Amino acid sequence: MERKICLIGGFATDWIKYSDYEYKNDSEGNLYITPMQEAGFSMYNPFNVAEDIIIDFLKVGNASKKYFKNKNEEAFEIVKKLTMLFVKKYGILGLISASTFNQNIIGDNEILIIEKNYINIKEKTMNSLEYMKLFTPFALPDDIQLKYYKNSIDLVKAEDSPKFYGKRPIVMDLIFSKFYSERLEWVMKFAGMLSEHFSQLLVYRDSTGHLTDDVTILADTFKANKIGFTINQLDKTYISWEFDSLKTTIETIYAFAVTDKNILLSCCEHCGDFYIALSNREKYCGPACRNRSNVQKSRLRKRELSDESLF
Ligand SMILES: [Zn+2]
């Protein structure tokens, strides 16, 4: 059997990542992650790397949780490193789109913010230009411009980056621009939540025999308000999912991963890494960890035996 998540349907649209990113402080000292000026972009399909994306993101989440607990410099450096690795592999989350009820924020006057957002906004509504500024702190006035026409609006960018000409919401033109940035703490909050959800799930999974009723694990966690789909025909008819962001894509892949009938998303008992197991008898991420753990156990047993013989 393959160690693959069974994703129902296909992913309709590609996501974009840049070849290099950097950390940069805005004028108020908030730490952002942003594409490097000279970086090039490439497209990929997140569904094709579903297993890697979920495992890599849970690593960021685990490290974030550790940092939230003891707030030391060393833990923060680990989060920074893992987040950078993640973003270089998969791109930025697209929280500008995932945090609103608006389908396409470009051209709307007022932004309706979802309650469970990771961008620290308590207000329910926000002015759209102010909202855009949160995600484009390093853009100069000429870098991104909104052009208003009689019946439409366009986003004009002073760079060569993907445009979808109405095939996708214009906000995607902004997310895939080099001027689009996200704060590290937003990414950490979302990743930390997912990792918390997963550790709760593992607790319940291990106590399955004792549960008599449905338990909702961390109720209200997922607010994927804008998942759309089309029905496509190739050799057979299939669902083609349309996501508003990489964040929603990750939530969806996670939901499929932890409910899959053939594989188990697991956490190695020896090294703590995430991996995909084929049954709950598999306790380690690979033969190396299984061997190391066995050696450790037999050493422990020997020590216990020799301790006993002292008496
Ligand atoms: Zn391991």
* DSSP reduced 3-state for 180: coil
DSSP per-residue string spanning 64-124: HHHHHHH--HHHHHHHHHHHHHHHHHH----HHHHTBS-S--TT-SEEEB-SS-SS---SS
Q: β-strands 237-242, 10-11: how paired?
A: parallel
- Measured in Å, residue 260 CA sits from the centre of ligand 1 at 22
- Measured in Å, residue 281 CA sits from the centre of ligand 1 at 14
Q: Which run of H or of E encompasses 268? A: none
- Measured in Å, residue 58 CA sits from the centre of ligand 1 at 15
Instruction: Tell which residue, 76, 18, 72, has the closest CA to residue 44.
Output: 18
Percent of residues, the chain, with pLDDT higher than 90: 58
- Measured in Å, residue 274 CA sits from the centre of ligand 1 at 8
CA distances in angstroms from 276 to 54, 65, 224, 234, 300, listed in the order given: 10, 21, 24, 30, 28
- Measured in Å, residue 108 CA sits from the centre of ligand 1 at 49
pLDDT value for 255: 93
Paired with 228 in beta bridges are 242
Whole-model pTM?
Answer: 0.90
Query: Residue with structure tokens 């991420």?
Result: 285
- Measured in Å, residue 187 CA sits from the centre of ligand 1 at 25
* DSSP reduced 3-state for 298: helix
- Measured in Å, residue 84 CA sits from the centre of ligand 1 at 23
- Measured in Å, residue 210 CA sits from the centre of ligand 1 at 28
Q: Mark 81-119 as b/e (b = at least 16 C-beta within 10 Å).
A: ebbbebbeebbbbbbbbbbbebebbbbeeebebbeebbb
- Measured in Å, residue 211 CA sits from the centre of ligand 1 at 29
Terminal-to-terminal C-alpha distance of the chain: 51
**Going residue by residue through the chain (311 aa), what tens digit of pLDDT does each one get?**
788 888 877 776 789 999 999 999 999 999 999 999 999 999 999 989 999 999 999 999 999 999 999 899 999 999 999 999 999 999 999 999 999 999 888 888 899 999 889 999 999 999 999 999 999 999 998 898 888 888 888 888 888 887 877 778 889 999 999 999 999 999 999 999 999 999 999 988 877 667 777 778 887 788 777 888 888 888 888 888 888 999 999 999 999 999 988 899 999 999 999 999 998 888 999 999 999 999 988 888 888 877 766 65
Query: Residue with structure tokens 């996200």?
Result: 182
- Measured in Å, residue 275 CA sits from the centre of ligand 1 at 8
